[in-house]
Amino acid sequence: MKTRRENGISLLEVLVSIFVLSFGVIGAVGMQLTAMRTAQESAFHTAALQLATEMAEKMRANTEQMKLGDEENPFIAVDYAPTGEAEPGVPGKLCYSTHCDSAELADFDIYEWKKRINALLPHSRARICRDAAWDAAQAQLTWACHPGSGNSGPYVIKLGWRMKDPDGRFGAGADKDFPPAVAVIVEPYFQ
């Protein structure tokens, strides 16, 4: 008796190959999602660093306001957490084409900065204060400000936002706090 040899692919072999291929596709999709999320967080970090540097330059340029005490300096009073689509309070004078003194210019610069934060960083917070130390016990920045003895600590601009969880939703709830992600120390031009 002769045995017949078949040259085809069995249904079982096809199912196994589809199963193996599906694992590869699922892995590739997962890597793509992780890469997209990482790119988005990198873009947020870049935007936050640019915003903090921009405000630091505006603070340095406004020497009259920076020479004031911490109680009068409008930059030190910034603690901003945008709520949804609400725009920050409009200052008394918009300095686009009109002459502004140093106090009006500081208020205008803060207003413009808050608008940009609201547009570029979702669920964010910004704070400018004197901070002589960061929380070494937690090894991360905190929103609390420790001005040091006699308000001798440096000016610090802190920016943070809620990061997304792996499922794509924002991590901390509205009632939970998140640490700053970017901090820039501002040294005034004057001494």
Does any domain span residue 23? no
Does any domain span residue 31? no
Domain that holds residue 78: 49-186
In tens, the pLDDT along 48-90 reads 999 999 999 999 888 888 888 888 888 888 888 877 656 677 7
Does any domain span residue 40? no
In tens, the pLDDT along 144-191 reads 887 776 777 788 899 988 876 666 666 554 445 688 888 888 876 655
The rounded distance, in Å, linking the Cα atoms of 131 and 94 is: 30
Does any domain span residue 34? no
How many CA within 13 A on the CB side of residue 61? 10
pLDDT at 138: 60
Does any domain span residue 15? no
Query: What global pTM score does this model have?
Result: 0.76
pLDDT at 49: 93
Give the count of domains, the chain: 1
Contacts of 35 (CB under 8 A, 6+ apart): none
The rounded distance, in Å, linking the Cα atoms of 148 and 132 is: 5
